[in-house]
């Protein structure tokens, strides 16, 4: 799903995107200049591999996401938030995919490995 930057105004615009068992739901709003803000909640269930025994298991997602989106190449202060550079449109599928991959890259231990203090 693509959302052109020019269609996002100062009033927060709601969006919802689902992929398999994961939902990204929130708002987009124009902040200033070429900066736009995305506030969202990532919810659902994601299958990950245990970093100790390599067994697959599910984790529940309930993550708040606060990103600044920039139309073009950003060259300013980050205001303490993550800044994502894009051209002319917001690629919501890519944002969702990036958030999922970021979570997958974390360190995960299944219940059995946690109980064994591994």
Domain boundaries, the chain: 2-115
Per-residue confidence band for 118, with pLDDT thresholds at 50, 70 and 90: low
Per-residue confidence band for 82, with pLDDT thresholds at 50, 70 and 90: confident
Q: Which of 52-61, 82-91, 98-107 has the lowest mean pLDDT?
A: 82-91
The model's pLDDT over 18-52, given as tens digits with 9 standing for 90+, comes to 998 999 999 999 999 999 999 999 999 999 999 99
**Pairwise CA distance, residues 72 & 56, whole Å:** 39
- Helices within the chain (DSSP H only): 92-104, 111-115
This prediction's pTM: 0.85
Is-contact 67 38, C-beta < 8 A? yes
Coil, helix or strand at residue 79? coil
Is-contact 72 87, C-beta < 8 A? yes
Say how many CA atoms lie within 13 Å of 53 toward its Cβ: 13
């Amino acid at each position: 799903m693509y959302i052109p930057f020019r269609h996002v105004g100062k009033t927060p615009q709601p969006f919802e995107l689902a992929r398999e068992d994961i939902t990204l739901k929130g708002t987009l709003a124009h902040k200033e200049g070429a900066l736009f803000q995305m506030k969202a909640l990532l919810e659902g269930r994601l299958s990950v591999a245990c970093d100790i025994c390599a067994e697959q298991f599910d984790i529940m997602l309930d993550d708040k996401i606060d990103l600044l989106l920039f139309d073009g190449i950003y060259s300013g202060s980050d205001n303490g938030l993550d800044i994502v550079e894009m051209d002319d449109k917001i690629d919501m599928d890519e944002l969702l995919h990036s958030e999922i991959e970021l979570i997958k890259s974390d360190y995960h231990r299944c219940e059995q490995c946690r109980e064994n203090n591994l």
